[in-house]
A and B are shown apart, each in its own frame.
Chain A
Amino acid sequence: MTTSTDTTQQDERAALDVAGLTVVGRPSDVEIIHDVTLRVARGDILGLVGESGSGKTTLGLALLAHCKRATEITAGSIALSGAALDPGDAAAVRRMRGRRVAYIPQSPASALNPALRLGTQLREALHDSGADGGEATDAEAAARRRAVAGDPQERVREVLREVALPDDDAFLRRYPHQLSGGQQQRVAIAMAFIGCPDLIVLDEPTTGLDVTTQAHVLQTIRHMTREYGTAGVYISHDMAVVADLADEIAVMYRGEVVERGPADRLLGDPQHPYTVQLLRAVPILKTAGHTAPEPAGEDGPLLRVRGLRAGYGRATVLSGIDLDLARGQCVALLGESGSGKTTLSRSLVGLHHQFTGEVVFDGDPLAPSSYRRTAEQRRRVQYIFQNPYEALNPRKRVRDLILRPYTHLAGQPQDPDAVVATALERAALPASYGERFPDQLSGGERQRVSIARAIATRPDLLICDEITSALDVSVQAEIVELLRNLQSDGMALLFVTHNIALVSNIAQHVAVLNKGEIVEYGDVGTVMSAPTHPYTQALIADTPDFELSFGESPLHRPATKSAPGGD
């Protein structure tokens, strides 16, 4: 690790030196960032980890002296290679941006101007071309000036080649929407590096990319920072990615950096309880699989799918899908975006009608449309949606959200209060939540209400469509635990996910979906340790693997402990 080689020299040449930085919101005067001190050496990457709302993006923007509307930097200093960045001096700030510090956004699709060609957008990021630079005094600045002072067109092509993009005129004439997500992110990287800055701030630059593209983009970032001797601040919620990439890690919690240190030390021997909690919540890629009680009473599978073929109009999305699901068992359906996994799960629940093939539930065939199924079938197969912010009608109280579907499917309950209370309890929520509106719940609580709504009717099969992907890792761990408890009670689960690391922690069997076909199917332990299909192999290789080197992850506790709130 480079950080420990020559501390004194590194300190003098720190690319970024932040002291006591504080950002407040207006007009409430709430401190969004409180007294943050950071230091990053040239060529190093600092991983800035935190969950949503921790202030990590605000901090990232503050490093460029940029504040979103109604926020303001009130204290602290920022220095880039010794040169102070004064937020009050707009002209000076503008001169520093693009030359000494650059920003790579979370979503290049919205950060690239849709109406301007790539060539224009890249060239305008190059400020000093053809000129004899500014106040360069030290050797590095001089080197930077040499790199960028030549022909601007040539510099644009050079940096495009470096991020492995085409550099021909046709490419430069393109508009952002003509590129794939991965290409857009490479353009954003090229745009940041074109001026050879001292520091690059990367705000979750791989969110929304599939793991293979993510691996390539991360590799490019690592390569570019080494090549240019640029310091990086990599903002992420994903501990596994940061563990892979960063030399040093800072953990943010509620606007403060609660722990900071070399990556090895922080991952191996975390000091702050929040860091410990965060690390424990990271799902672990390879295990023998979650063990569940053996299905009792072998009278055929609960759900049997044979030769399912589905599509939209003339486009076929899925073909030749075979799947079996026994009572009390969990099958994980793993696939990247566009693999057809949501189409499959929606076909099974009767929301997607354009499919052919055999879908048999407990001996009886299921009609394509939910409206053609019997009330009993609809009661026994329940679905939980990905985004808890959209799955609950904001105009209804939790109580009604649970009772209305129950009444519709199972008739008027004798004791409505008991139905609500039991469902909430099984979802580990207090019965008093029945009186709340969804607005008054956090994301994790909303997802628990969705689960309560689904299990209130005592279904036999629960289809979970990416139900943790919109949640923070610590909440994700809690939801996974809840699902495992439900499974122990005899409920069968179809767990749809794009996150391969979650598979081991919940399922006994896994089906890997690629381009509409199941390319690999087997029990979790076998598939994860010895994948046979090249797609699965690549998927496992590209996923940042993170081994917890202290204690044990709560995700790996045997599922014997009763659910929280069960007492």
Chain B
Amino acid sequence: MSLATATAPESAAAAAAPAGRRQGLFRAAWRHGRTKVGVVLVGLVVLTAALGPFLSPYSPTELVGIPNRTDVEGTLFGTDGIGRDVLSRFLHGGYTLITIAVSAALVGVVVGAAIGVVAGYRRGWPDEAIMRTNDMVLAFPQLVLALLVMSIIGPQVWLIILLIGVSHAARVARVAREATLKVVEQDFVKSAEAIGVPGWRIMAGEILPNITSPLLVELGLRITYSVGLIATLSFLGMGLQPPTADWGLMINENRIAITVQPWSVVLPVAAVALLTIGANLITDGLSRASIGIDRGVEK
């Protein structure tokens, strides 16, 4: 029929375009200016944290001068409350924070996605049980849950990752479940059921590939929050312990002297701020791109 032939060249042109949805999301996100700003910010902070230990003029625990001075010979930003070099401590203090934050976010997203997909696909009592348990975890603000458990056991790195990860997982599971419910309603899932494809293969092969966009957005968000939470824990003295160099801890140790020696607070606060802002900008770009793709605006 004439119409069918008339539309054929159009779809042929569409087919010629390289087809890969995963790259599509990042490419679409890149088009938003804020994504670029975010990548630059995150890149700067991560580079500082990763290369910092090799560039620092002193060891992070070495005493180099009179405490809380900005004009110490041989230092750029002066000394902290004990007399250690502020710049060296700053350069050493980001690596652990970022590693812990990313680990906790990964734990949260992987566990949360698994829980959410199973709950959303199985429905019925497993769904009820999982989501009600989830609600209990959600009744604690993330920070308070971490403080509660660590108040007795004490601050441990694995415990921080576990607690932040679990409290993330509860929140990610909600998002993954919502996304799964939307996919499950679609007929291609029923089509697989009609020919008897096993449940785990439907979840892994039909559902998971279709919820990667919200999960990536969630990962970005969770990394942002992880950095904030772990920095806050350190700031409260419940994260890494002295004499470790850590941005949150630096703020905690030096905030009393903020009027005489602002650098030892300003540097880590600025780094944490730029990191979280940058991560959130990227997340926002991803989420805008994913909405666009879902609406069929982007190809």
Q: What is the interface of chain A, defined by CB distance below 8 A to chain B?
A: 273, 277, 349-351, 370-371, 373, 375, 378-379, 382-383, 385-387, 390-395, 397, 404-405, 408-409, 432, 435-437, 439-442, 444-445, 453, 474-475, 477-478
Contacts and interface: CB of A to CB of B under 8 A. Distances in A.
Contacts of B206: 393
A390 B182 CA distance: 11
Nearest to B199: A371
A351 to B, nearest CB: 6
Contact of B11 (A375, A391, A445, A474): A445
Nearest to B6: A254
B254 to A, nearest CB: 51
Closest CB pairs A-B (n = 5): A385-B187, A395-B209, A390-B186, A391-B187, A440-B14
Interface string B1-18: 111100100010011000
Contacts of A439: 14, 19, 296, 299
Contact of B196 (A373, A391, A474): A373
Given A393-B210, A436-B19, A375 B1 contact: no
B15 A436 contact: yes
B213 to A, nearest CB: 11
Interface string B181-198: 000011110111111110
A379 B196 CA distance: 10
Contacts of B1: 277, 474, 477-478
B187 A474 contact: no
Contact of A277 (B2, B197, B299): B2
Given A277-B3, A444-B4, A383 B19 contact: no
A437 B19 contact: yes
Most buried by A among B11, B190, B194, B210: B194
Given A391-B188, A439-B299, A474-B3, 19 more contacts: A350-B194, A351-B194, A370-B194, A370-B195, A373-B196, A375-B196, A378-B196, A382-B194, A383-B191, A385-B190, A385-B191, A391-B186, A393-B206, A393-B210, A409-B195, A436-B11, A436-B19, A439-B296, A440-B19
Interface of B: 1-4, 7, 11, 14-15, 19, 21, 185-188, 190-197, 205-206, 209-210, 296, 299
A408 to B, nearest CB: 6
A110 B75 CA distance: 67
A444 B197 CA distance: 26
Given A373-B196, A436-B19, A442-B11, A351 B190 contact: yes
A390 B187 contact: yes
22 contacts: A273-B2, A277-B1, A277-B2, A277-B3, A350-B194, A350-B196, A370-B194, A373-B196, A378-B195, A383-B191, A386-B187, A395-B21, A404-B205, A437-B19, A437-B21, A439-B299, A445-B11, A453-B191, A474-B3, A477-B1, A478-B1, A478-B4
B187 A387 contact: yes
A48 B185 CA distance: 34
A393 B195 CA distance: 15
Contacts of B3: 277, 474-475
A392 B196 CA distance: 16
Contacts of A375: 196
A509 to B, nearest CB: 24
A223 B238 CA distance: 77
B295 to A, nearest CB: 12
Nearest to A374: B196
B4 A383 contact: no
Given A390-B186, A395-B21, A442 B7 contact: yes
Contacts of A453: 191
B207 to A, nearest CB: 9
A442 B187 CA distance: 17
Contacts of A404: 205
B196 to A, nearest CB: 5
Contacts of B4: 444, 475, 478
B210 A408 contact: no
Contacts of B188: 390-393
Contacts of A395: 21, 209-210
B11 A371 contact: no
A391 B191 CA distance: 7
Nearest to A444: B4
Contacts of B210: 393-395
B209 A393 contact: yes
Contacts of A435: 15
A474 B187 CA distance: 24
B64 to A, nearest CB: 57
